[in-house]
Structure 1
Amino acid sequence: MTDDAYLFLVDDPEPPLGAPVTAVGDLACLETPAVRAWLDAHGVTAASPGVRLLPPEETGAIPAAAEKLPVPLSDEELNQLRHALTPPGALARVEEELLAYRDCAGERDALLARATAAGVPQHRIVELTGEDARTVATAAAQGQHPTSASGPRQR
């Protein structure tokens, strides 16, 4: 495995291997003399459908006979490339999971305080939630204060 991503040429972009360069966005490496010379030598542009890009961890999938060129990408460019390679359905599912996590995590402290107030021992809350014991203890202590947003207000 290498630390560089690779530009490579495919004769037939079906089935798709790698990402089309245009799907990744503006890449600084495309302006380098080495990449421009490589593209010119093969008679293609970065927008050609046969010009593809793979991140370092996937370069082993490039066919041995393919023309290829290692290119350094910034962390942001690598993230863009990996995003371009993610199937749209999979990306949507992960984003839904992240939203569900946000909704659940936003109520975490209130739930921990309610569990403690209901009499669930703190060690059992730790076992069930996987939360750190200090987190559970802190949430339980905050839930005992009358000014806590998670507990009922005293008059």
Structure 2
Amino acid sequence: MTDDAYLVLLNGTASTLGVPLAAMADIACLDTPAVRGWLDAQGVTVSSPDLRLLPPEETSAIPEGAERLPVPLGDEELSRVRQHAAPQDVGALEEELLAYRSRVEGREALLVRALAAGVPAHRVAELTGEDLTAVKAIAQR
């Protein structure tokens, strides 16, 4: 696994990977000369359905030979990419986890639900601001 997010041109294959770039068109790296040059070299625009943005944990699934470009994403941008890429029920739970920071009641129950739904402990800790050790302890109960 890499720490970089990637823009990938999939040419009609594996279109379930990542997020369509058009859904994330406001990310800052799109204004960089490197990304603009890469898009021009590929002959695609931001709205191309074959152009996907993948978070670091999905980069190992990029098909061999696919055109790709590592892109820098801020923490908030990466969080949005992950939310868009997650299955709908997991994405909804992740939104609740983001709201979790301001909750007082039902915090532990929300953590238990998220972990039971398959949201990884490190992601729960990242979204909630909880200590990873505490989240893992709840997962083991």
Note closer, same or farther for the CA distance 1:96–1:18 as it changes in structure 2 (3 Å cut).
closer
1:104 paired residue among 96, 103, 106: 106
What TM-score comes out, normalization by structure 1 length?
Answer: 0.59
Q: Contact 2:84–2:91 (CA<8 Å) still a contact in 1?
A: no
Note closer, same or farther for the CA distance 1:52–1:105 as it changes in structure 2 (3 Å cut).
closer
Deviation readout 1:82-137 (Å, 9 max, x if unpaired)? 011012223335667888x854359xxxxxxxxxxxxxxxxxxxxxxx99xxxxxx
C-alpha separation in 2, matches of 1:76 and 1:10? 25
C-alpha separation in 1, matches of 2:82 and 2:96? 18
Aligned residue pair count = 107
Partner of 1:19 in structure 2? 19
Matches within 5 A, 1:1-150: 1-12=1-12, 15-93=15-93, 103-105=105-107
Please report how far the alpha carbon of residue 33 of structure 1 lies from its aligned counterpart in structure 2 after TM superposition. 0.5
C-alpha separation in 2, matches of 1:85 and 1:36? 23
What TM-score comes out, normalization by structure 2 length?
Answer: 0.64
C-alpha separation in 1, matches of 2:5 and 2:75? 11
Q: Which segments of 5 or more consecutive residues in structure 2 lack a partner in the other structure?
A: 109-136
State which structure, 1 or 2, has the greater radius of gyration over its C-alpha atoms: 1
Note closer, same or farther for the CA distance 1:96–1:76 as it changes in structure 2 (3 Å cut).
closer
Note closer, same or farther for the CA distance 1:105–1:43 as it changes in structure 2 (3 Å cut).
closer
Deviation readout 1:63-93 (Å, 9 max, x if unpaired)? 0110000001010110010011012223335
Q: Contact 1:13–1:49 (CA<8 Å) still a contact in 2?
A: no
C-alpha separation in 1, matches of 2:32 and 2:96? 39
SS in 1 for 2:16: coil
User: Segments of 4+ in structure 1 off by > 2 A?
Assistant: 89-99, 101-106
SS in 1 for 2:70: strand
For residue 38 of structure 1, what is the amino acid of its counterpart? W
SS in 1 for 2:34: helix
Q: Which segments of 5 or more consecutive residues in structure 1 lack a partner in the other structure?
A: 107-129, 132-155
C-alpha separation in 2, matches of 1:69 and 1:96? 32
Q: Contact 2:10–2:50 (CA<8 Å) still a contact in 1?
A: yes
- Across the aligned residues of Structure 1 and Structure 2, the Cα RMSD in angstroms comes to 2.8
For residue 65 of structure 1, what is the amino acid of its counterpart? G
Note closer, same or farther for the CA distance 1:83–1:71 as it changes in structure 2 (3 Å cut).
same
